[in-house]
Each structure stands twice: as structure tokens, then as C-alpha cells.
Amino acid sequence: MAPPRHLLLLLLLGFLAAASLAFTLTAAVYEDQVGLADWHQKYIGKVKQAVYHSQKSGRRRVVVLTEENVIASLDLRSGDIFWRHVIEKNDPVDELSLSLGKYVVTLSSGGSILRAWNLPDGQMIWETNLQVSKSSKPLLHVLSNNKVAKDNLVFVLAGRWIYAVSSIDGVISWGKEFSLDGLDLKQIIKSPENDIVYAVGLAGSSKLNLYQLNAKTGETVKHIQESFPIALCGETILGSHNVLVALDETRSDLFLIELKGESISYNKVHISDLVQDLSGTVKLLPLMSNGVIALQASSTVSLLKLKGIDGLEVIQSFEQPAAVSDALTITEKDEAFAVVQHTGSEIEFVVKFTSDVTGEVIREKINIDQHRGNIQKVFLNNYIRTDKSHGFRALVVMEDHSLLLVQQGEVVWSREDGLASIVDVTTSELPIEKDGVSVANVEHNLFEWLKGHMLKLKGTLMLANADELAAIQAMRLKSSEKNKMTRDHNGFRKLLIVLTKAGKVIALHTGDGRIIWSNLLQSLRSSKSGEMPSALRICQWQVPHHRVMHENPSILIIGRSGADSAAPGVLSVLDSYSGEELNSLKLDHSVVQIIPLTVKDSSEHRLQLIVDSHSRAHLYPRSPDAMNVFLHEMPNTYLYTVDIETNVIRGHSLQKSCDNSADEYCFSTKELWSIVFPSDTERIAISETRKMNEVVHAQAKIIADQDVMYKYLSKNLVFVATVSPKASGEIGSAAPEEAWLVAYLIDAVTGRILHRVTHHGAQGPVHAVVSENWVVYHYFNLRAHRFEMAVIEIYDQSRADNKDVMKLILGKHNLSAPITSYSRPEVMVKSQSYFFTFSVKAIAATQTAKGITSKQLLIGTIGDQVLALDKRFVDPRRSVNPTQQEKEEGIIPLTDALPIIPTTHFTIFLSQSYLTHSLQVEALRGIVSIPSKLESTTLVFTYGVDLFYTQLAPSRTYDSLTDEFSYALLLITIAALVAAIVVTWIWSEKKELRDKWR
């Protein structure tokens, strides 16, 4: 009897073990779950400078500097990032250079910070601070003389200062300030023969100064000054080793300046003699040496050959858009450069030698995706082919900020670096799955399926070896389910549609972050006259539901045709599924404020109100149908504007039609109220409102003692924070006595201040998030010298007497009474504040489909990560000793600081985790939470220079089984149970038989 029982016991225990593992619930991810529901993409931004590492062997690299202030080392073969540093925006990097073939030298902050980075791994080697004159323009030159190996000096020119710094350890070899007033050094020329450097500077725009300096000591050997009859605009380039080409102030004449050892002589050339069309701004392109320069006008790029200083000769002109690369030294005598221009849908890549400009070394036609726009920059590089001849490749920067490597007539790789500068994000549903497409095809046969699950089981039991682990990971990532192009039941699969600074709209799939479509909007491309349009906003335009189900959803992109806020606006409507531009509109008014309304017209178009600089509101779409819908809504539509410059908040109502315009879709506004903050004591730091699409499930909150508190849920609630003028600077600039922060809760319809609280000794930067009936804001407390996070919750007292059940039954309640902002609200406000360890870059709150799931705060930390903090940590009802009832409700005992460290006894109830786990979203700017159809889960998209997407379940996935759930195990358990029943039944039968025989 005993042996079979033991066997059974073992069997049962085995399944028990397996079963329990399938049920461990998680808050944060396990290390092997990385990449299952999340993806991370690294970008660098639009490249403005590229330096090739000319190493004969080993991995070929290119070091780039971008407009997002990123320095990065890229693999030239694949475009992958070796290393990357995102430098803070207030420390702009101006120049980048290579030194000694192993250091990357960068000059930033107007020439005052010089840094050297190790080329292989990006480690900072040294940093030197330089004292430069404040008046200097950020026009700087780093010159590293690699050829002279003995001293390895790096020269820095900024304003009146010149420095020579050793590139090995960053020690300043010598530094010199020229005493001339208004001097701005422009060029440095190293004499090839001796240790003399020539520094050329402009003083007072028309006096050219030439200094001869000893490169080793910095002693001034000679100083020559030459006055010019016309002012120069400051743009100078070196035509050849001793000829300087300068543009005059009107940009219509060129000065050819010869620098001889003893004197300066110059000659004036009219540009109009050389180039016919001179509309727009004329620029000199920095192509140097052997007497070839490039001149860029608005319609052409011309190559000019210097004939001493006597004159210039046009060699060739290229139609714009075209780009010319810098000269690249091939042999001791010869240099090559590239010209790239558009021919139809292709680009033409031409390489020439400066010694023979009319000839061509290479002419290649390369097919390029037309959604990349025009070519903007080209960086040429050469390599030695197997037959010892020179081959050329080039990095090409396109209008949409993408970076391409072209070689042998082909695009070798491309980087979509426009995604480093996202302006706005929206989402779109994917198309519904068509009938006939069977899901069963995905799950091959049962055997394969079981095998996969057995492998997973092995992984969870930690029995799998390395190969099997890799197979599991690959299987998980491959699971095609999440990458399908159709809508899923849980609403996890969506399109993230982003608008980039370049005016490109890109749709990313939430499954793996791949680009579904992209479209560089014609209306947001820079025009020939040099106007730079700016992309502003992306909103839903048409979200089809019942009636217009067969139509594709569409999105609206709003931009300005210029950088100025008074520039007329541009609208584009795009199909969300294909990215095709359906409609494009040039507005005759400016765009100051965009108000998406909650109403839709009969064809499911979302109504949008655009306010222009004359405070007139314009309705879109312009259709009588939309107009009818809007006229109903108009009496209840109020707008408010926050004017940070004049320190005023104004509220407006709309009035029918504009006074002096025949446009019936235009409405004039009437000022209803204004709040003027006294400028000498308060400055508006931030204003924040609830998300328009937020869903709130419960209007009331039942607190511990069976009492009910009604949330004050007004869509018109505006949070405004002001700081004292002295405290509006950075931390450390104000004393606690002269710093304060005032937080306001304002009703945007009436302008009534619902709540006002002053934090003495507090200062910005302020970050805030408003959700439901609460505001959480982050600021710096100067007295404690720590960051603080405060919460304000606002409750409606007027409905507080509805607690009586009898009244509810008898209908004596006011729950169905219309809520109007004009009745004086009786509100009750609770607030509390806590210390928070770090400074914060962004705060958001999670949004779910029905608003039932408890909220989490998503905090972008100083380390460019996203911390998910349960809202219950910032609950003003926290007290030091919560009662038993309050504890049951989930109130946490009050602590003076918010824990970054998840304390053990809370983790059971409260999750706090890094959403980004061990990844960083460099230069984090925004966090967007998008509800999925599954109530427990929200989709979080974080953007900065990098992109990160993940799914988050603030209260864990209570409404679905996790991916971890092993169905195979469930089946096995059931089978085991059935087997056990059968076995025990047989035993009992046998036993009964035996008993009967007895």
C-alpha cells in the first residue's frame, strides 16, 4: 500500500511546484521579460558636424555632433551607436574635432568648456574650463594639428581670447587675451614651415587684425591692422592657405584678402558679376584650400576658383537644392570634395578634385525615398579599394533629419534621426481584422505549441541551458501576435503617430516600434525664401465609429508657416493608415492656441477651435454641419489664455461671427475675466489642466468611516503656479527669504480662485500634473534644500449632504441638478507635501479606459528614467498613525519623504518601479499615457532623444492572465488531477473488493 502512495505524493508535489511558478505575480519586469512588451530606440538628432576616424584597421567610426546637442560615435558599416553623450541644452556644443586619432575634442558653452573624450568607449578624459570674453559670439574654431606630433596642441578661439591646450591632458599651454575692444577672432592658420600661428580677427566689423603668434609660447610676434571701407558681416572663410574670403554686411560683395607675412592686401568683387540670381541670403560654404570656394545663393550653389586675389572665376553652378562637402585631403597635394544635387526622384553624387574642378572622379545616381525631402549636408570620406584606387562614400543629412550612408550608388544604411525631436504625439487604432484571416495559422501545430511551453517551463524552473534560454527569448520576441497590423481585442496594438520638428509625420507600431509609414509634409518644409515653418500639434481629425465605419481615421497636423507666432498657420489632414495627405490648407490667420472640442459633426469629424493672435477663434472643419453642431455648443464654450510675459490669465467667451470679416467660421471673443498677478511679487511659472480625454469612474470617494466625499470634477480646473521674481532663476540664485511659490486652483469659466496656497522658501522649476480632482506638483524647497512634491485634492462640499439615503430615495438630492460654474462652489481642499529625492524632468499620470484602476504618477527622473509611483503615496489623507479603518482603506502612514526605495512591507500592496528598467530615455521630454481597451493596462510612450514604449498595469493585470501564464501547465495539472482520480478510484475499488473477501 505504501509505495504507490509515495509515488502519487511525489507526482502531486511535482505538479504543485510547477503550478505555483505559473502564478507568481509581478510588479516590475523580470530580466528575461525585457523587450516583450516594451521597446527602446536610440537616436542622435540632426547631424551638424561629422568627423571620420581615419584608422587603417579596426572598426570604422564616424563621430558626429547633432542639433540635439548629442555627440556620438557611429559604426560606419551599420550606423549603430558605439557610444553617445547627450549634453545639456544650456551647454551647447559648438565644435567637434579629433585629436591624436584617439580623442574626440568638443568645445561648448560659447568656447568656455573644452572636453576630450576617449574615442573607443566615450569616457571623458579631461575637461578644461576657459575664461573667454563674454561678448564673444558662439563662433569658434578648434584646430588640432595632428601632423605635428610633438606638441599636440588644440587651439581655441573665442571672442578676444586664444588658447593653446594640450590634447593629452587638457593643460592650458598658453592663453592670451587681445586687448582690442570688440575683437572677434575668426580664423587661425598654422604656418606649415615654422612655429607661427596666424590669428585673424575682426574688430568693430570693419577692422581686420592679423596676429602672428608663436605657437609654443603664445607671444605676439607681429600685429597688423587693416581698415575696410565697408563693414563686413563677419562671415569669412579661408580660400587657400593665405587668402581669406569675406562677405560684406549687405552680402553683395566679396573681399579677397591676402595675408602676407608683413601686410594685408585686399580686393573687392561684386557677387552680381559672378552669379546672376541673388535673391535670398548669400552664404559662403566652408570648402577650403586649393583656391576653390563655394557660394550659396537661394537658387544656386556656385563653385568659384580664386585667381590670386585678383578675382574669382565661376567653374560650375548647381541648381538648388544641392550640398557641397568640405574638402578631404587625399594626397599631399590634392583634395577631394563632393557635390550632391537632386535630379528628379534621385540624387546625384559627384566627387571632384580641387586640382581639377571640371573633371569628375565619381558620378553616381542614388535612389532615395522621396519622403526624406531635400539634401542638406554631405560629409565625404574616402577608402582605399583593393586595387589601390580611391573609393568614396559620404554621409548625407536629409531635410527630415535622417542620416544616410551612400556608397557605390546605394544607400548602405539610414537612420531616422528626426525621431529625436518629437513635437507631439497622438495614437490611432489599427484596421479591424478582416474575416477569413484565421488566427489559428499563427499557432502551428499542437506539438510545436506544447514544445514551446515545455521550454518556457524549463526556463521558469531554471533548468534551461544557455542555448535554450536564447531560444525562449527569440520565441518570445518573435511571437507575431503583437506585431500584426490589425486591431487586437485588448487594444494593445495601435499606431503611435508622431510629429517631428522637421515637419515629418511618422507612424510607429506599438508592437515593436517599427515605422509603418512616414510623410514629410510639403506645407512644413522650408521654402526657398528661407522661411522655416514650425510644426505645432497633431490631433485626431476623424475617428470613425458607427456611421462612417468604412472610412479610414484621419489626423490633423497644425503648423505655422514661419518661426514667428504671428505667421499664418497651415493645416494638413493625413490618412492614419497610409499616411497619405488628404487635404492641406494654408490659413489666412495665425495660430496661437488650439482647442480640440469634445463635440463631433455628423461625419465624426472632431471640431477644433484655433485662436489667432487677434483673439479671434476659427472653427475647423469648415462645413455647415460642423457649424450647426458648434452653434449649439457655443454658449457653453469658454477659453482662457495664459500670458506669461504680461503675467495675466484671461478668460473669454465666444460671440457670433467676427466684426470685420465675412468669414462665418470666425468668432470674436469677449473678455470675461482676467487675473493679473503682481509682477513684482509673482511670475507665472506653469499652468496645467486635466487631459481632455480623461475618464473618471467614481465621482465620490468612500472614506474609512463610511463617509462619502464628492470629488470636484470640473474640466475647467486650471492649476497655476507662480514664483517670486528672484526665485525664477536656478537653484542657488535666491535666498529662502526672497523665494516663494504660490499655487492656485482657478475655475477657467468664471476666473474664480478656488484655492490659493503659498509655499515660503520654495522655488522652481515647477512641474505639475492635474488629474481627476487632484494636482501633484514638484518644486524645490530652499529651506530644507530638498526637492518637494505637493498634492492638492479638491472636493465638492455642496453635494456632501447627499449622504442621507432617505433623501436619495425621496428624491430630495441635488445629484441631478445641473452643475454650473456660475454658482459659487463650496469646495473643500486637502493638501500635503513630501520631500522627493530628485529633480524631475516631466510628470504624467496613468490613464486607463474606464478610470477604475488606481492611478500611478509617471515621473521622469534626472537620470532619464521613468519612475512609476503609486498615487497613494501622495494622498493628503495620509497621517502619522492611520486608524485601523484607514489602514484597511490602504492609507500609508505619513512619512516626510517619498520613498524611492521600495520599502518591503509596502511592496505587497504598492508597486513602485522603474518603467524603463535598466534603459535610459536620454534627454527625456515627455511621457504620454494612452489607455488600452483592457481596463487594467495603460500604454506608456516616453520620448526625448530616445523613444521608449511599454505597457503598464498600475494595479497589476487583474482582468487578464499575464503572458507568463502557462496554458500547457494548466492542461497538465488537469490531466494529472483526472489521472489521480482514476487511480484512487481503482484503489478504492480494489480495497472494497479486499474488504469484501475478508
Partner 1 sequence: MAARLLLLVLFAVVAARVGAAAAYQPGSAEGHTIAGRIKIDAASAIAKGFGLPAKTSNTKVILNGGQRVTFARPDGYFAFHNVPAGTHLIEVSSLGYLFSPVRVDISARNPGHIQAALTENRRVLNELVLEPLREEQYYEKREPFSIMSLLKSPMGMMLGFMVIMVFVMPKMMENIDPEEIKQAQEQMRNSPVPSFSGLLARANS
Which positions from 125 through 164 interact with partner 1, judged by CB under 8 A?
Answer: 125-131, 133-134
Q: Any idea what DSSP says for residue 182? A: T
Measured from the CB of residue 90, what is the shortest distance to partner 1 in angstroms?
Answer: 7
Question: In terms of CB distance, is 84 or 377 closer to partner 1?
Answer: 84
Number of residues that bind partner 1 (CB under 8 A): 77
- Under the binding rule (CB under 8 A), the answer on residue 235 touching partner 1 is no
- Under the binding rule (CB under 8 A), the answer on residue 900 touching partner 1 is yes
Question: In terms of CB distance, is 1 or 437 closer to partner 1?
Answer: 1
Q: Round to whole Å and give the CA distance between 825 and 39.
A: 46
Please select the residue that binds partner 1; options are 205, 374, 490, 973, rule is CB under 8 A: 973
Question: In terms of CB distance, is 91 or 581 closer to partner 1?
Answer: 91
The candidate with the shortest Cα–Cα distance to 426, out of 543, 565, 544, 520, is: 543
Q: Round to whole Å and give the CA distance between 42 and 945.
A: 7
Which conformational region is residue 810 in: left (phi greater than 0), alpha (psi within -120 to 50 degrees), or beta?
alpha
Question: Which parts of 745-774 interact with partner 1 (CB under 8 A)?
Answer: 765
Measured from the CB of residue 91, what is the shortest distance to partner 1 in angstroms?
Answer: 6
Question: In terms of CB distance, is 34 or 857 closer to partner 1?
Answer: 34
Measured from the CB of residue 456, what is the shortest distance to partner 1 in angstroms?
Answer: 13
Question: In terms of CB distance, is 220 or 578 closer to partner 1?
Answer: 220
- Under the binding rule (CB under 8 A), the answer on residue 223 touching partner 1 is no
Question: Which parts of 818-847 interact with partner 1 (CB under 8 A)?
Answer: 837-839
The two most distant CA atoms of the chain are separated, in Å, by 132
Question: Which parts of 721-750 interact with partner 1 (CB under 8 A)?
Answer: 730-733
* Alpha-carbon separation of residue 130 from 100, 155, 159, 306 (angstroms): 21, 12, 12, 37
Question: Which parts of 436-465 interact with partner 1 (CB under 8 A)?
Answer: 460-462
Q: Which residues contact residue 364 at a Cβ distance below 8 angstroms, ignoring those fewer than 6 apart?
A: 348, 349, 350, 406, 408, 409
Measured from the CB of residue 174, what is the shortest distance to partner 1 in angstroms?
Answer: 9
Whether omega before 825 lies within 30 degrees of 0, making that bond cis, reads: no
Please select the residue that binds partner 1; options are 81, 168, 172, 464, rule is CB under 8 A: 172
Question: In terms of CB distance, is 431 or 729 closer to partner 1?
Answer: 729
Q: Round to whole Å and give the CA distance between 800 and 710.
A: 7
Contact predicate 299/290, CB 8 Å:
no
In three-state secondary structure terms, 418 is helix
**Structure-derived torsion over alpha carbons of residues 688, 694, 696, 699, reported in degrees to the nearest 10:** 40
CB-neighbour burial class of residue 161 (10 A; exposed 0-12, middle 13-18, buried 19+)? buried
Measured from the CB of residue 311, what is the shortest distance to partner 1 in angstroms?
Answer: 43
Please select the residue that binds partner 1; options are 57, 90, 358, 660, rule is CB under 8 A: 90
Question: Which parts of 777-796 interact with partner 1 (CB under 8 A)?
Answer: 780, 782, 784-787
Please select the residue that binds partner 1; options are 361, 464, 914, 959, rule is CB under 8 A: 914
Which conformational region is residue 733 in: left (phi greater than 0), alpha (psi within -120 to 50 degrees), or beta?
alpha
Please select the residue that binds partner 1; options are 60, 79, 82, 122, rule is CB under 8 A: 122
Measured from the CB of residue 992, what is the shortest distance to partner 1 in angstroms?
Answer: 12
Question: Which parts of 176-195 interact with partner 1 (CB under 8 A)?
Answer: 176-177
Question: In terms of CB distance, is 27 or 642 closer to partner 1?
Answer: 27
Measured from the CB of residue 845, what is the shortest distance to partner 1 in angstroms?
Answer: 22
Measured from the CB of residue 133, what is the shortest distance to partner 1 in angstroms?
Answer: 8
Question: In terms of CB distance, is 117 or 667 closer to partner 1?
Answer: 117
Q: Which residues contact residue 391 at a Cβ distance below 8 angstroms, ignoring those fewer than 6 apart?
A: 382, 383, 384, 385, 407, 408
- Under the binding rule (CB under 8 A), the answer on residue 87 touching partner 1 is yes
C-alpha cell at 809: 430615495
Question: Which parts of 462-501 interact with partner 1 (CB under 8 A)?
Answer: 462
Going 364 to 365 to 369 to 371, the CA torsion angle's sign is: positive
Please select the residue that binds partner 1; options are 4, 7, 10, 16, rule is CB under 8 A: 16
Q: Round to whole Å and give the CA distance between 238 and 40.
A: 44
Q: Round to whole Å and give the CA distance between 127 and 830.
A: 49
Measured from the CB of residue 27, what is the shortest distance to partner 1 in angstroms?
Answer: 7
Phi and psi torsions of 371, nearest 5°: -80, 10
Cα R_g (the chain), whole angstroms: 34
Please select the residue that binds partner 1; options are 984, 989, 990, 992, rule is CB under 8 A: 984
Question: In terms of CB distance, is 28 or 582 closer to partner 1?
Answer: 28
Question: In terms of CB distance, is 459 or 651 closer to partner 1?
Answer: 459
Question: Which parts of 97-116 interact with partner 1 (CB under 8 A)?
Answer: 115
Question: In terms of CB distance, is 101 or 863 closer to partner 1?
Answer: 863
Measured from the CB of residue 727, what is the shortest distance to partner 1 in angstroms?
Answer: 13
Stretch that binds partner 1, among 10-18, 248-256, 327-335, 946-954 (CB under 8 A): 10-18
Q: Report the DSSP beta bridge partners of residue 379.
A: 395
Contact predicate 277/298, CB 8 Å:
yes
CB-neighbour burial class of residue 171 (10 A; exposed 0-12, middle 13-18, buried 19+)? exposed
User: HSE of 181 in the Cβ direction (CA atoms, 13 Å)?
Assistant: 0
Question: In terms of CB distance, is 123 or 681 closer to partner 1?
Answer: 123
Contact predicate 773/794, CB 8 Å:
yes
Measured from the CB of residue 138, what is the shortest distance to partner 1 in angstroms?
Answer: 17
- Under the binding rule (CB under 8 A), the answer on residue 28 touching partner 1 is yes
Please select the residue that binds partner 1; options are 863, 967, 979, 982, rule is CB under 8 A: 863
Q: Report the DSSP beta bridge partners of residue 157.
A: 141, 162
Question: Which parts of 66-85 interact with partner 1 (CB under 8 A)?
Answer: 83, 85
Stretch that binds partner 1, among 95-103, 267-275, 910-918, 951-959 (CB under 8 A): 910-918
Q: Any idea what DSSP says for residue 144? A: E
Stretch that binds partner 1, among 601-609, 667-675, 851-859, 970-978 (CB under 8 A): 970-978
472-494 burial: b if 16+ Cβ within 10 Å, else e: bbeebeeeeebebeebbeebbbb
Contact predicate 514/508, CB 8 Å:
yes
Please select the residue that binds partner 1; options are 474, 563, 692, 977, rule is CB under 8 A: 977
Run of H or E including 979 = helix 967-997
Question: In terms of CB distance, is 253 or 922 closer to partner 1?
Answer: 922
Measured from the CB of residue 977, what is the shortest distance to partner 1 in angstroms?
Answer: 7
- Mapped to the 3 state alphabet, what secondary structure does 923-948 carry? CCCEEEEEECCCCCCEEEEEECCCEE
Stretch that binds partner 1, among 30-38, 278-286, 334-342, 699-707 (CB under 8 A): 30-38
Question: Which parts of 393-422 interact with partner 1 (CB under 8 A)?
Answer: none
Question: In terms of CB distance, is 405 or 972 closer to partner 1?
Answer: 972
Question: In terms of CB distance, is 27 or 412 closer to partner 1?
Answer: 27
Measured from the CB of residue 765, what is the shortest distance to partner 1 in angstroms?
Answer: 7
Question: In terms of CB distance, is 81 or 543 closer to partner 1?
Answer: 81
**Structure-derived torsion over alpha carbons of residues 873, 878, 880, 883, reported in degrees to the nearest 10:** -120
